[in-house]
Amino acid sequence: MSLSERAAELDALDPLAGKRAEFDLDPELSYLDGNSLGAPPRVVAERVADVVRRQWGGRLIRSWGEGWWEAPERIGDRIAPLVGAAPGQLVVGDSTSVNLFKVLAAAVRLRPGRDEILVDGNTFPTDGYVAEGVAGLTGHTVRRVPAGELAGAVTERTAVALVNHVDYVTGALHDLPSITAALHRSGALAVWDLCHSVGAVPSYLDEAGVDLAVGCTYKFLNGGPGSPAFVYVARKWQDDFAQPLPGWAGHREPFAMSADYTGGQGITKVRTGTPDILSMLALDAALDVWETGTLAEVRRKALALGDFFLSCLDELVPGVRVLTPRDHARGNQISVAWPDAERATAALIDRGVIGDFRPPNVMRFGLAAMYTRYSDVLRAAEGLRELTR
């Protein structure tokens, strides 16, 4: 059976094939960049129009008391099952960078007497920037260690370790439960960056005993460009969580306009400023695609897509250097090293295959299982073959 026949057969048998119709995607495009920006679910445009015309335009300021104000916690509870968390432990708002600052600054306060922050050595750049910023304000030092070596690197000096669940360049999946357990054995806290795993890879935060986590919502959750991030604070730490960016939205009585700050109950204290309602309610609409289908189904298909992509590469582009683990210790992307990768990525885009480039020589292909087809990954492999001629 040829690769094209195999792709057609897999697409015909795909239990998630119907989900693609829920997204506003050009059928002629092979969109393989959902690990940077998810495709828009069709329901979003209609829902946002309602927010603008009826809620903002008709109800005006009354809408704050008709659901807007509670949206960060409500939408956090919608995301919670996708990261293995019970309700009341996630809140949506601000950016990933701002939320990282909050949780790292709070984490070092929870471990007084320890002066070190460990950071995943291949972390997404903003994580390192924020860690250095927190360290400069608190007197801590930052030590960068490859994620696979963190378990052996933690010492009695370590207050917290910041780790990416999925490596943003290679797509390697790090062992969240075992790294968390190793940190806890040495008395350190675990902060996880879930940006490249939420909506793609199960994380089981509660079961693994994770302390704090952050994640964005514009990749595999399809919340839209710049959609608000989220924070997870395990229930056991909520009473002691000291908000380093206290703002009126996290106040226990935000509309009392008190001169003194008293943090809200539970996860609400993690809020800082006024919620970005248009982006937040666009995300709320995007999450409707999870009302049917499960993360387990998405993960199974994404792994199968990756396996098929690897077989296509092996046959069509023999010798290509794949950076992503060939076993299933990977997120929902395949990354390859390629000479002049930036030019090659642009050439594929001209052919209707949209992936992305990471310097110096990496081409990344995201496998968003709700809308990526087996024919899409075959088309990407065929495009790479054309570039070698």
What is the set of active-site residues? Answer: 124, 193, 218-219, 364
Q: Please state which architecture CATH assigns to domain 47-289.
A: 3-Layer(aba) Sandwich (3.40)
Residue recorded with tokens 């959902």: 34
What is the distance between the alpha carbons of residues 217 and 228, in angstroms, rounded to a whole number?
7
| Cβ pair 190, 161 in contact under 8 A | yes
Q: What is the pLDDT of residues 125-146, one digit of tens each?
A: 999 999 999 999 999 999 999 9
Cβ count near 102 (within 10 Å): 25
Strand, coil or helix: 152:
helix
CA atoms within 13 Å, Cβ hemisphere of 82: 30
At residue 117, the pLDDT reads: 98
Q: What is the mean pLDDT of residues 95-110?
A: 98
Q: What is the pLDDT of residues 244-300, one digit of tens each?
A: 999 999 999 999 999 999 999 999 999 999 999 999 999 999 999 999 878 999 999
Which of 3.90.1150.10, 3.30.70.20, 3.40.1010.20, 3.30.450.270 would CATH assign to domain 3-31+293-387?
Answer: 3.90.1150.10
- The yes-or-no verdict on residue 72 having pLDDT over 80 is yes
Q: Where are the domains of the chain?
A: 3-31+293-387, 47-289
Question: Could you tell me how many residues make up the chain?
Answer: 389
Query: What's the pTM?
Result: 0.97
Q: What is the pLDDT of residues 325-381, one digit of tens each?
A: 999 999 999 999 999 999 999 999 999 999 999 999 999 999 999 999 999 999 999
At residue 355, the pLDDT reads: 98
Task: Name the band, by pLDDT with cuts 50, 70 and 90, for residue 204.
Answer: very high
| Cβ pair 220, 199 in contact under 8 A | yes
What is the distance between the alpha carbons of residues 183 and 299, in angstroms, rounded to a whole number?
27
- For residue 31, report the phi and psi dihedrals to the nearest 5 degrees: -95, 110
Q: What is the pLDDT of residues 73-93, one digit of tens each?
A: 999 999 999 999 999 999 999
At residue 292, the pLDDT reads: 87
Taking the C-alpha atoms of 221, 224, 225 and 226 in order, what is their torsion angle to the nearest 10 degrees? -70
What is the distance between the alpha carbons of residues 245 and 101, in angstroms, rounded to a whole number?
9
Q: What is the mean pLDDT of residues 211-230?
A: 98
Strand, coil or helix: 89:
coil
Mean residue pLDDT across the chain = 97
* Percent of the chain residues topping a pLDDT of 70: 100
Q: What is the pLDDT of residues 151-182, one digit of tens each?
A: 999 999 999 999 999 999 999 999 999 999 99
The first and second tokens of residue 155, run together, are: 């010492």
